[in-house]
A = this chain, B = another copy of it.
Amino acid sequence: MKIALLSIGDEILSGDTLNTNSQWIGQQLTDVGCSIIQQNTVRDEQVSIISALSQFCVLSPNYIIITGGLGPTEDDITRQILFDFVGTDSTFDEEYWHELSVRFERYGKSIPESNRSQALVPIKGEIIPNEIGSARGYKFNYEETIIISLPGVPSEMKKMMEKSIIPSIIETGIKPKCIRTLRTTGIPESALIEKISSATQINHGCKLGYYPSLFGVDIRISNLESDPVDSLANEIYKILNHSIYGEGKITFEKVIVKLGLEKDKTVATAESCTGGLIGHRLTDISGSSRLYKGGLVVYSNEAKINLLGVPAKIINVHGAVSSETAEILAVNVKNKFNTDYGISVTGIAGPTGGSIEKPVGLVYIGLATQKGVNVKKFLFGNHRKRNKLRTSQAALNWLRLSLLND
């Protein structure tokens, strides 16, 4: 099922409005097995709208879904352009006009004349009801394409999609795609692709997509049938193993909290360069209080010395950003909170504060467990916020891998 999306509105082109409508429709329709072949955003202007529709029709999509341009204001001109494009006259719906007037009165307002256009009904075409707004939608059969026109207000558009459009698309007997998204962390995109090439470069018949972020790379595998998807996923699992932390929409933080609860473990954090980010991420998950007991943000040397017992001598000799400091912080925060794990991070977030010996991006992460303590050294980049995010990710991933083996 091929879908083309047309967004109408100068406010989208100028960036005043973020086009979340296209994303939402894309997600919903991809999930039920459609394929979005193109999305255009055009101005509130006859020639642009008609030319976009004509270009779409060349692609013979099953549906063209238009959002925007159905309001009562002067620049909302889609309605008449559409009627002309599909070649239909319209009549005035007195009953709906009356209904609209009553709705306005209910809020103590009289209906503006400019709303009259919203009561127009095409002779060749259907009306799509709008339960929460005044602009109804339209549905036309045009050549081999069904053209749908919806208001641009997201809440109204979504309700109409959910109530009318998506069910009618599903009814056509469309077969949803089989999709699995393997979420990985700890391996950069290019290295990941190389690592799994023995699985991906054979003839598996699936579509593969890689979606990198600061936190990791999602691998999306899709096919019309589930067997090839599962078999490729299995091969990738064999190679990546625990670098895959979950599937689908599950978040990294949720995986860790869930794992912590399953293993009945507790953790405390001693954060320097991340400033509280690790605790913040864990506490984004409801139920995290059973795993996460709290922590210290030891941003100053005094705090490291006075509140987490790092000897001043260690800081003087090895520095606040050192393996030695990370080790003591991890052990002492574990003891202070009486938890199973203690995580510490200390590093140079940047952009200033680096030296040749200790460049910006240098980070030590410590993990204290009941078996002892370990420290790992990382070298991230020059960007402060990204260094913080990457540090938190590396620390939480180490916790996750330890929980898995515990």
Tell me the A residues contacting B by CB distance below 8 Å: 10-20, 22-28, 30, 36-43, 48, 52, 55, 71-75, 106-109, 111-115, 132, 188-191, 193-194, 208-211, 220, 269, 271, 273-280, 282-284, 286-289, 292-300, 302-303, 307, 336-338, 349-352, 379, 381, 383-385, 388
Contact = CB atoms under 8 A, between A and B. Distances in A.
A329 to B, nearest CB: 12
Contacts of A73: 189-190, 193, 210
Copies assembled:
2
Contacts of A112: 190-191, 193-194
A194 B55 CA distance: 37
22 contacts: A11-B209, A13-B26, A13-B39, A15-B27, A38-B42, A40-B40, A73-B193, A74-B193, A109-B191, A274-B283, A275-B280, A275-B283, A276-B276, A276-B283, A276-B295, A277-B283, A286-B384, A293-B303, A294-B298, A296-B296, A296-B297, A307-B336
Contacts of A75: 208-210
Given A189-B73, A276-B276, A350 B23 contact: no
Given A189-B72, A190-B112, A276-B283, A211 B289 contact: no
B379 A211 contact: no
Given A39-B40, A276-B276, A294-B303, A15 B11 contact: no
Contact of A277 (B194, B211, B280, B351): B280
A279 B277 CA distance: 8
A57 to B, nearest CB: 13
Interface centre among A14, A211, A385 (most CB of B within 10 A): A14
Contacts of A28: 15
A293 B302 contact: yes
A99 to B, nearest CB: 15
